[in-house]
Structure 1
Amino acid sequence: MLNIIPRSPLLSNIARFDPFTNIDELFKGFGMRPFSMETETPSLIKIDLTENDTTYTVRAEIPGMKKEDVKVQVDGNRVSISAETKQEKEEKEGERVICRERYQGSSYRSFTLGSDVDESKAQAKFENGVLELTLPKKNGKTAKQLEIK
């Protein structure tokens, strides 16, 4: 004779908890997230790309940067934008240093367009944290670093 024992509804809801695979769950509710070497920081350079029959137009938001800190390189149909900054701030109270903060950071963004760019006619303008590139289309390949106005 075979006896079948019905499962308890409480036992069917039990789930195994592995703290190494569910690390986010372990810290949930504490208002913090664990440090992870695998965490990828998102690019600070956000772009809008439009095109018509003859030209690509790129608008890139690069907040907190100066024109001198931004570099643009065009190589055929590949466009690379990089920005690097270094800032220091010091607060003194009399002769004692109360606070000294340093910031150094860089951002990089590269993308490929559908057509090669005519580097000789390409233009770059930077104003109020927004880089605007006008990239006329062409056939052929040469590399040129653009001067930002």
Structure 2
Amino acid sequence: MANHLTRFNPFGDLAGFESLRGLDDFFGRFPLASSFAGRGDEPRLNIDVTETEQAYAVKAEVPGARKEDIKVSLEGNVVSIRVEKTREDVEKEGETVLRRERYHGVQMRRFSLGHDIDASGATARCTDGVLELTLPKKASAQGARQLDIQ
């Protein structure tokens, strides 16, 4: 017995009527529709974190962001990255914008590490849309402590 699954569209038959054409598209035009569909339009600030005995290395994707729009703050073992991207609204006369998909707004990422960071020795650089942080561990930090279970 073969399985023949078809996607059921309750408005499919109605869309054939001229007055109701595009009814299935109507509900996709609401601002929250993409959230319900599971495909948010806001990009995520993706990071990679690696560790050595002396330091942590963090790489974050920040495509299209300028260096002056990136803020990194360190507090103990907590790292905060804030990126603000602005839209360039330069339109030429006689030109019509048909679609805008490039994101503009604020992206933030905050995470904690196992050891306190020596903020005085930390470095940051941004090249080719990748933010690279070198975060040395504090020498006196004990880091995460494992408890013995009794």
d(CA) in 2 for partners of 1:27, 1:132: 50
2:33 is the counterpart of 1:35: yes
Is the CA contact 2:43–2:103 (under 8 Å) kept in the aligned structure 1?
A: no
d(CA) in 1 for partners of 2:134, 2:11: 46
Match of residue 104 from structure 1? 104
CA positional deviation for 1:99: 4.0
Farther-moved stretch of structure 1 (123-132 vs 102-111): 102-111
Q: 1:53 to 1:35 in 2, by over 3 A?
A: same
CA positional deviation for 1:37: 6.5
Which one has a larger percent strand, Structure 1 or Structure 2? Answer: 1
Match of residue 120 from structure 1? 120
Query: What is the number of residues matched between the two proteins?
Result: 113
Match of residue 91 from structure 2? 90
Counterpart AA for 1:77: N
Is the CA contact 1:43–1:108 (under 8 Å) kept in the aligned structure 2?
A: no
Q: 1:121 to 1:28 in 2, by over 3 A?
A: farther
Q: 1:126 to 1:28 in 2, by over 3 A?
A: farther
CA RMSD, aligned part only? 3.4
d(CA) in 1 for partners of 2:67, 2:33: 34
d(CA) in 1 for partners of 2:74, 2:53: 19
CA positional deviation for 1:64: 1.3
User: Mind listing any 5+ residue stretches in structure 1 that lack a counterpart?
Assistant: 1-24, 141-149
CA positional deviation for 1:106: 1.2
Q: 1:52 to 1:27 in 2, by over 3 A?
A: farther
1:79-119 Cα distance to aligned partner (Å, 9 max, x none): 000100212231212xxx64497963111001000000000
User: Mind listing any 5+ residue stretches in structure 2 that lack a counterpart?
Assistant: 1-7, 13-23, 142-150
Counterpart AA for 2:83: A
- Match of 1:89, SS state, is coil
CA positional deviation for 1:75: 0.4
Is the CA contact 2:63–2:129 (under 8 Å) kept in the aligned structure 1?
A: yes
Q: Which is greater in Rg?
A: 1
Which one has a larger percent helix, Structure 1 or Structure 2? Answer: 2
